[in-house]
Structure 1
Amino acid sequence: MEYLEFELPIKELEEQLQKCQLIGEESEVDVTETCKQIEKKLDEAKKDIYKNLTAWQRVQLSRHPNRPYTLDYIKAICGDTFLELHGDRNVKDDKAMVGGLGKIGDQSFMFIGQQKGYNTKTRQYRNFGMANPEGYRKALRLMKSAEKFGVPVVTLIDTPGAYPGLEAEERGQGEAIARNILEMTRLKVPIICVVIGEGASGGALGIGVGDKILMLENTWYSVISPENCSSILWRSWEFKEQAAEALKLTAKDGKRLKVIDEIIKEPLGGAHKDREATFVAVSNAIVKSYDQFKNLSPKELVKQRMEKYSQMGVYKD
């Protein structure tokens, strides 16, 4: 079990509880009451810490190494029905962007999302979840295929940003993301976007335009990461916590500012604490969202989507 810095009080109490239980098992001393007291303190500590998380702490939770990634969600939600599709039919198959057909119940969906790695080797293989232009072009190819056959699209967003390398820029990173944004606004099938981890910059927007935008409780969605914002404004990463607050990047901020439509509640402590419950919650949210749009005609669907984005940022003085 890995603990974040703000979770250390929980770690200490859990270690105390384990020691107490071990004493009870190895000796004839009755430690039931002591264990109950520690358990009570542990429950109170968890509630106190997780119910009052700062923006930066939520950013840390969104990056937790044990947190489920895109393929974890897809395999849990679709089971054996998922068929991964590869390549952009132009350059190559970008391993940071995954996608394919899968079913929830009897309904088919085209799933697309960024995939991170679990260890050093797979992180390099997946390019740390940072897609190249061919990744976004693969995503667009899959969306167009879904449109052709009337299959709704689900995108799972989890990226620190699009890959900023020289070769990515040479192959048209900006154009690929811009093209996706344009095409997603007028795609004639329902699009449901779910932020499952990090939603950073254009890397997230490249698959982030939809009829319904959902965010898991401990995720973030912003034009820039807190560290990079801090380095630009203060020439140092030391102000990342201050930057996280100022950026208004949490799910609650997004809902209040009408950047997103709905927050999916996570188990206490984050998605990694109870993966199965998180998978069920995401699956239910996708189905519920699809039910809202499945009876709309393509023309009505596109019109509503365009109106939704046209109204963003409008305010009365």
Structure 2
Amino acid sequence: MSAPPDHATHATLKAQPRNLHKTAEETGANLDAITVQQQTQPQKLQGLLNVGISRWERVQLARAPGRPTALDYVELLATEFTELHGDRVYGDDPALIGGPARWQGRPVMLLLQQKGRDTKDRIKRRFGSSNPEGYRKAVRLMDLADKFGLPIVCLIDTQGAYPGIAAEERGQGWAIAESIQRMVRLKVPVVCAVIGEGGSGGALAVGVGNRVLIMENAWYSVISPEGAASIIWKDAAKAPEAAEALKLTAPDLLELGIVEEVILEPAGGAHLDAAASAASLGEAVSRHLDELALLSPEELRSRRSTRFRALGTFVEGQSS
């Protein structure tokens, strides 16, 4: 795989990415949503930690213009994708899409958080921030996957669930909770991969997998750095400080046992070589699906539940 990006490349990239929050303010799409089986790879983790890229720079790389979206990866890795629409309750949500497909030849059910590829598309999809009908549609697709024995592949890329008033009126929190509960009870293999941003319950709603993977320059946290800074310091400009405190980058998450694997990106970031990024993602997801295919439905459900219940536990040691 390609070596991690160098400092000069990151210095350039840091100045280039679009400020999505400014765009969100101008368009009215609020993005600041407030809403196991561990396979450690010490040598890979050490390499990432030694690169010297700050956590805030990682966040900027996750937002870099041209970074592959979920649909970009599907076009490169899957065939026969058939998008299914609607939650059978209220309507359809273009921010969270999915349907059956063949992932590198394997029949699967895809759940995709799609930010959009240009300004018009991003506004339409609310930058990947779903309304309740998006999560209810996800539950409908999970039911189908369970019924037909299809493994589920989730590609996560959102700063959080959409926090609009209408979304709250239609039961945003309840929809997220139902999606999490349904994922825990699935009897088919579930592999989730954070390909860009993974914020709050909006990401966790489709992130309860047997294996959770993350791209090298993606982030995954209970809240975005800007959201945390706005709450703690009343100043979104302190987002870089918040990013350091949140420990939201791929190396942090691997060290804490929140993800099973960090998927390396090409030098400079995934946006510079989508094909190479897709090859790395496809290989990792398929490998984990192969391993999970050896487990029984009850083992899959039990191990998934145990995995998430164990997160955040710690034991206090006695001082010598």
TM-score normalized by the length of structure 1: 0.84
SS of the equivalent of 1:103 reads strand
Deviates more, 1:207-216 or 1:290-299: 290-299
Report the 3-state secondary structure (helix = DSSP H, G, I; strand = E; otherwise coil) of the residue aligned with 2:258. coil
* Aligned match of 1:208: 207
Answer yes or no: is the 8 Å Cα contact 2:10–2:57 preserved in 1: no
Corresponding residue number in structure 2 for 1:29? none
Cα deviation code 1:208-258 (max 9, x no counterpart): 101000000000000111111111111112211111000000011111111
Equivalent in the alignment of 1:180: 179
2:148 maps to what in 1? Answer: 149
Post-superposition offset of 1:135: 0.3
Deviations 1:42-88 (A, max 9, x none): xxxxxxxx932110000001011210101111111014x21111111
Greater Cα radius of gyration, structure 1 or 2: 1
Cα distance in structure 2, aligned partners of 1:124 and 1:316:
45
Q: Give the aligned partner of residue 95 of structure 2.
A: 96
| Counterpart contact for 1:116–1:129, Cα < 8 Å | yes
Partner residue in 2 for 1:237 = 236
- Superposed counterparts of 1:1-317, under 5 Å: 6-7=11-12, 51-79=51-79, 81-317=80-316
1:83 counterpart SS class: coil
4+ runs deviating over 6 angstroms: 8-11
> Given the superposition, is the C-alpha separation of residues 105 and 199 from structure 1 closer, same or farther in structure 2, using an over 3 Å criterion?
closer
Q: Which runs of 5+ in 1 are unaligned?
A: 12-49
- Asked whether the equivalents of residues 65 and 118 of structure 1 are also in contact (C-alpha less than 8 Å), the reply is no
Q: Mean Cα displacement is larger for which, 169-178 or 95-104?
A: 95-104
- TM-aligned CA distance change 1:9 to 1:120, over 3 Å: closer
In the TM superposition, residue 153 of structure 1 has moved relative to its aligned partner by 0.2
Aligned AA for 1:54?
S
Number of positions where the alignment pairs a residue of Structure 1 with one of Structure 2: 278
Letter aligned with residue 57 of structure 1: E
Letter matched to residue 191 of structure 2: I
Alpha-carbon distance in structure 2 between the residues aligned to 1:151 and 1:212 = 16
SS in 2 for 1:213: strand
Percent identity of equivalent pairs = 50
Structure of higher RCO (CA pairs closer than 8 Å, 6+ residues apart)? 2
* Contact residue 59 and residue 218 of structure 1 kept, 8 A: yes
When residues 236 and 4 of structure 1 are mapped into structure 2, their CA distance, relative to the original with a 3 A threshold, is farther
Are the counterparts in 1 of residues 100 and 108 from structure 2 also a CA contact under 8 Å? yes
RMSD: 2.1
1:123 Cα deviation after fit: 1.4
Instruction: Give the AA of the match of 1:193.
Output: C
Q: CA separation of 1:10/1:240 partners in 2, compared to 1, >3 Å: closer, same or farther?
A: closer
User: Structure 2 unaligned runs (5+)?
Assistant: 1-7, 17-49
How far did 1:9 drift?
10
The letter of the residue matching 1:73 is Y
Instruction: Report SS of the residue matched to 1:146.
Output: helix
Q: Name the one with the larger helix percent.
A: 1
**In structure 2, C-alpha distance between the alignment counterparts of 1:192 and 1:105, rounded to whole Å:** 14
For residues 108 and 127 of structure 2, the distance between their equivalents in structure 1, rounded to whole angstroms, comes to: 25
Separation (CA, whole Å) in 2 of partners of 1:122 and 1:260? 30
Deviations 1:242-298 (A, max 9, x none): 110000000111111111111000001110111101111111111100011102111
Following the alignment from structure 1 to structure 2, what is the Cα–Cα distance between the partners of residues 228 and 186? 31
Q: CA deviation at 1:187?
A: 0.5
| Paired letter, 1:76 | L
The amino acid that maps onto 2:227 is: N
Go from structure 1 to structure 2 and tell me whether the alpha carbon gap of 1:149 and 1:66 turns closer, same or farther (over 3 Å shift): same
